[in-house]
Amino acid sequence: MKDQMKDIVALCKRRGFIFAASDIYGGINGFWDYGPLGVELKNNLRDRWWHDMVIAPPIGPDGTPISIVGVDSSIIQNPNCWEASGHVGGFNDPMVDCRESKKRYRADHVFVLIPKDGEGVSFAFDKDAEDELIEKRLKKLAKGKSIDDFEREMLDQIPAANFNNIVGPDTKNKGTLTEPRQFNMMFHTYVGATASDDNKAYLRPETCAGIFLNFKNVVDSSRVKVPFGIAQIGKAFRNEVTPRNFIFRSREFEQMELEWFCEEEDVPKWFDFWVEQRTNFWLSLGVDKSALHFLDVPKDDLAHYSSRTIDVEYKFPFAAPGFDELEGIAHRGNYDLTQHQKHSGAKIEYYDQQENKRYLPHVIEPSTGLTRGVLALICEAYTVDENRPSGVYLNFHPSMAPKKAAILPLSAKPEHVEPAQKLYMELRNEFVVDLDIKQNIGKRYARQDEIGTPYCFTVDSETAEDNCVTVRDRNTMAQERIPLDKVKAFLREKINGG
């Protein structure tokens, strides 16, 4: 399963889906470019999400359509916004490395036992270390001292100058811990001509902030009433320590986020609603149910703002035999609006005229990675088939396929080429289609298989007489003859489901 990832990456490059950014300069870690087919695929997924969220949102639990509007906010915002959201603090965990064990620890996750009498060395332990283990280690290393002879202090409270007297959690010798270093996940830049701390700004690490910042603007301008949603699709940037697994974890990526604002008492109802809606979304794109897994994120792992999160996980090949996150549906409470109201000093409360009350609504956030979605669609579509010339085909749902159809004259003779060109011109205004004339027909079918084109229309010598073409189905390789004037209707039905 893991080896399949290599084949998928090779196919993506060979056929023009995804390239390493700055390829000719040797690449740059964590950044990717989308080629001619990749951008079509990505746009298809993006447009479908926008359609299903903003243009034609789902029917709500009470049988009436819900209300969602869109925004497109700036990537760079006032830096105070990231103080309020917790990103400046939250992404700033000081880390300590051990030179001997080569392990890295969060300074606030390690406690140190300091001898009460001030004699001898101190010992560091993981914050979850149990007493039994501590005593065992002390017995070995501390010359008969026991827990009661020490004071407990968290490592991040101890001056780095004293680190040389501390034995690291996984060593026997003192002085192996480095001084704490800050790791900030946010990319920063400077606004204006001079680069100084006064005009430092950040590239957004997630798109949702732009929604919260515009909550009041949208309420005041759009006649929306709680419950309602604001959606956004756009790029986000995180300076990941370790970009991994192709486009799964990259430093520049694209998110599709909905913030659903509702009253606190309705949260359970809407939470379940959105889990169901979002699941249906992925299923409707051809993702198999067995490829999805729902993780009710354990309390300890929840983000600081969330009281409940369900991760929709996909069976990515690199995660085999497990799953990895595709989408998160989080109850964010009213943390964000509260924080931004407090830090900005602006009054952004919602006013309910009917009930005559003011409040900050709670938020359910279905948030998915567009670029992760692209990878999931590619992985899901990748199908090995020894029985066909290409050896593999991409089983995209027709609505997601970068090319909807190829028009193939059986030979390069004018009697085949001319009707094919005519058909191509008719189709191309409505569908992304290819006209491919060169080389033998088997070779062309194989090429279309590899890029996941669901249908090939072949013009042959009988076309001139019966005004029909042969349509060849990608998955079954079966052929069927249909009239030329039915081709558009055929494609519409297959792509949009009728």
Residues in region 98-117 near RNA by CB under 7 A: 102-106, 109
Interaction of residue 172 with RNA, rule CB under 7 A: no
CA–CA separation, 428 and 436 (whole Å) = 13
Length of the chain: 498
Q: What's the sign of the alpha-carbon dihedral 316, 319, 320, 323?
A: negative
CB of 260 to RNA, least distance (A): 17
In this structure, are residues 412 and 376 in contact, taking their beta carbons and an 8 Å threshold? no
Which residue has tokens 């297959």? 494
Using CB under 7 A as the binding rule, the residues of this chain from 392 to 411 that contact RNA are: 410-411
For RNA, which is the closer residue by CB, 69 or 446? 446
Contact criterion met (CB below 8 Å) for 455 and 444: no
Interface with RNA includes 127 (CB under 7 A)?
A: no
- Say if residues 58 and 277 touch (Cβ distance below 8 Å): yes
Tell me whether residue 19 or residue 431 sits nearer to RNA (CB atom).
19
Which residues 41-70 are close enough to bind RNA by CB under 7 A?
Answer: none
Does residue 1 interact with RNA by CB under 7 A?
Answer: no
Site for RNA in 436-495 (CB under 7 A): 438-443, 445-447, 449-450, 458, 460-462, 469-470, 472, 477-479
Q: Does 75 bind RNA (CB under 7 A)?
A: no
| Interface positions, 81-100, toward RNA (CB under 7 A) | 85-87, 90-91, 93, 95, 97
Helix (H, G, I), strand (E, B) or coil at 276: helix
Query: Residue count at the site for RNA (CB under 7 A)?
Result: 72
Interface pattern 295-314 for RNA (x via CB under 7 A) = --------xx----------
Instruction: Report 321-340 residues binding RNA (CB under 7 A).
Output: none
> Among residues 81 and 285, whose Cβ is nearest to RNA?
81
Minimum CB distance to RNA, residue 96 (Å): 10
Nearer to RNA, 39 or 121 (CB): 39
Q: Which is nearer to RNA, 271 or 445 (CB)?
A: 445
Q: Does residue 206 bind RNA (CB under 7 A)?
A: yes
What would the DSSP string read from start to end of 252-264?
A: EEEEEEEEEEE-G
The structure tokens 């902030």 sit at: 209
Dihedral, CA of residue 11, residue 16, residue 19 and residue 25, to nearest 10:
120
User: Residue 146: which residues within 8 A CB-CB, separation 6 or more?
Assistant: 135, 138
Closest to RNA by CB, 28 or 69: 28
- Cβ(20)–Cβ(26) below 8 Å: no
Which of 196, 242, 356, 429 binds RNA (CB under 7 A)? It is 242
**CB of 59 or CB of 241, closer to RNA:** 241
Structure tokens at 330: 């989080």
Nearest residue (CB) to RNA, 273 versus 335 = 335
Angstrom distances, CA of residue 444 to CA of 109, 430, 457, 468:
59, 22, 11, 20
In eight-state DSSP terms, residue 147 is G
**Candidate list 108, 149, 240, 252; residue touching RNA; CB under 7 A:** 240
Query: Are residues 279 and 273 in contact, defined by beta-carbon separation less than 8 angstroms?
Result: no
Query: Contact between 39 and RNA (CB under 7 A)?
Result: no
Tell me which H or E stretch contains 8: helix 2-14
- 190 and 79 Cβ atoms separated by less than 8 Å: no
Residues 376-395: x where in contact with RNA by CB under 7 A, - otherwise, as a string: ------------xxxx----
